[in-house]
Amino acid sequence: MKRRQLNIVQLYPEQMNLYGDYGNAQIICRRAELYGYRVRLVSYNSAPDMANLVKADLILGGGGQDSGQERIKADLVDRGPQLRAWAADGVPMLVICGLYQLFGRRFVTGTGGQIPGISIFDAETVAGSGRLIGNITLESKSFGRIVGYENHSGLTTLAPGVAPFGRVRSGDGNNGRDGTEGARADHVIGTYLHGSLLPKNPAVADWLLARAVERAGGTWESERPGGLDERADAWAERARRVAASRPR
């Protein structure tokens, strides 16, 4: 059966792509192809790329240093109303670390400056004095156990009622205090988990793909075609076990 094309957009890859985050785009594209979908992967870095962004069925974004956040902040604020509208309309998004912070209300830097966010998440991040770094595992009602690697100094606090991506089983999470990690808003996921996240967590990858297929006007068919057999996810499970067993 012929399946639809999926338009995947990598958000600010020139400025926000640390610790293997581009691997999330690679695994999404590969799994989509093995499920039988055609994929078009494009980038959005600034206003001239707007034609790519408006066609997005799925948006992926990575982490970056404070300098990267400074470089994108004006453009991201300009794109904010459209990104909020798409989020409300069901466009799936996965944003990591620095972009996760800027999808909140604001990021307060170590020097006391403020980088405005676009408020898709009702959350605020303040620079901490040390780094929260190491392997991390979460528990999620939607995805089960989630395995990743955190490396951040920002301390994020979710507003009351905001759903986290998961609850911390081992590691620090948003701030090392309240047991939350990341945030969820409709079909948008924000998280500090690098590593990259999706190769070790195929349930999250397939959830994002399902939402993208629905966004493109299709019906998600999760049965495995010939190209994606149990061995692929067996390797992912092995990687999850190894990552979860390593000390921080």
Q: What are the catalytic residues?
A: 97, 194
Strands 5-11 and 193-194: unpaired
Please enumerate in sequence order all residues whose Cβ is within 8 A of that of 41, keeping only pairs 6 or more positions apart, or say none: 8, 9, 10, 25, 29
Phi, psi of 31 (to 5 degrees): -65, -40
d(CA 215, CA 120): 19
d(CA 248, CA 236): 20
Question: Residue with structure tokens 């055609």?
Answer: 38
d(CA 95, CA 81): 17
Distance of CA 193 to CAs 6, 24, 159, 224, Å? Answer: 24, 11, 20, 27
Which strands form 183-185's sheet, in the order they lie side by side? 38-44, 5-11, 58-61, 93-96, 188-191, 183-185
